[in-house]
Structure 1
Amino acid sequence: MASLVVMYGTPVDSAEFDRYYFETHVPIAKKIPGLRKYEVSRGPVVTPAGPSKVHLIATLHFDDVASIQKAFASAEGEAAAADVQSFATGGTDMLIFHSEEV
């Protein structure tokens, strides 16, 4: 299993971010080939010390890292990546990794 984690920074307008993200971006991203599962955080994203600068975390699951690379080279993956510029006014951090249960 491999994951792409996207951490969205606090946007200029949280309500507009949430509206656009769930009404527009999620349907675009769900078309990415090879996507096995799509999870998002709910409620505030905090650290053990308190508030964070992260508004929302999305975790997209794929079979392996090669599948993630192939997915984002597709037209659907490119469309999802390009769409992030439409709403992510707080910036993003993206991490890709292989994981295994221990």
Structure 2
Amino acid sequence: MHKLVVLYPHPTDPVAFKSYYESTHLPLAAQLPGMLDWRYSLDVRAEPGSPYFAVFEADFADAEALAAAMSSPQGKAVQDDVPNYATGGAVVIDYPIVAR
């Protein structure tokens, strides 16, 4: 299993971020080929001063499936859409999941 995590710093306009993210960006992300499951939160709670506002997580079978998804037309559309709502940018990380 391989995980993709996108961390979003605080946007300039949180209301606009939420509206665009849920109505436009998530439907694009839901089309990523090979994605097994996904989840998100617009209610990130962390210690005071946390730089993050929102988080997105997606599961893929392996790193190759994630790479294929992100290089697909759908993946390119998702990546190209980020500047349309994420005025604070985005931090993207991925990693293999190690089972106990």
TM category, shorter: over 0.9
Structure 1 segments, 4+ long, off by >4 Å, are none
Q: Quick one: which amino acid aligns to residue 71 of structure 1?
A: A
1:58-77 alignment, distance < 5 Å? 58-77=56-75
Runs of 5+ consecutive residues of structure 1 not aligned to the other structure: none
Give per-residue Cα distances to partners, 1:71-97, cap 9 Å, x unaligned.
Answer: 011000100011011111011111011
Q: How does the TM-score come out when normalised to structure 1?
A: 0.92
Structure 1 distance, partners of 2:22, 2:66, is 22
Give per-residue Cα distances to partners, 1:13-36, cap 9 Å, x unaligned.
Answer: 001100000000000010010011
How many residues were matched structurally?
100
Instruction: Note the aligned Cα RMSD (angstroms).
Output: 1.1
Runs of 5+ consecutive residues of structure 2 not aligned to the other structure: none
1:77-96 alignment, distance < 5 Å? 77-96=75-94
Q: How does the TM-score come out when normalised to structure 2?
A: 0.94
* Percent of residue pairs identical: 30
